[in-house]
Amino acid sequence: MRRLLPSLLCLCLLTGCSGQPETVQEWDDAPPLAQTETAAAELLHITVEQAEISLARLQEQSYTVPVQVKLTKNPGIVAAEWGLQVDTRCRFTVEEGEDFHTYTSCDAESGCLWAAWLSSGETFTDTGTLLTVQVTLPADAQTGDSFAVSYAAVSPTGKPHVWLADTDLAYGAVWEDGGITVTDS
């Protein structure tokens, strides 16, 4: 039963199992999902890797490039729901990090990946890789081409991201978008 509970919680996060309409907390007049200086001081920081790869190496790797998503500042979390937007010219698969049970849903047409995960144990306060996205670029990729992999604060259905701390919900986060650039060497 203990192993089933995290799976059920993530399923509820992904599907909204309460049966009630979703509501989004509004903050004064500011957009609730905006990155702010206050958020930067208090919340977590997520970095999507910016990878550079030569055209020759890209061809050797069958046009597939790993892009890591990392927590670079973490005040302590136990669960989260968030997303990525991958350039729609690409295909992608996901490898979960070691410290989390990750459940993802993908919409290949829109390039959106939505993830819900739980810490394997107690409050997770480390930094490091949350997951790795294996991005397959189109076969016509050329030197100078760029393919964005961006943090998504809202799912394709309009559901906002959430990061659950020990005692609080954090409705925002600070992030750096990344992607892949094809170089000549």
pTM for this structure? 0.74
Q: Within 10 Å of residue 181's Cβ, how many Cβ atoms?
A: 15
Overall fold of domain 4-14+63-183:
Immunoglobulin-like (2.60.40)
Q: CA dist 159 to 13, 33, 82, Å?
A: 10, 11, 9
Under-50 pLDDT residues of the chain: 1-41, 171
14 close to 80: Cβ distance less than 8 angstroms: no
The pLDDT score that the predictor gives to residue 163 is: 84
The domain limits of the chain are 4-14+63-183
Identify the pLDDT of residue 34: 44
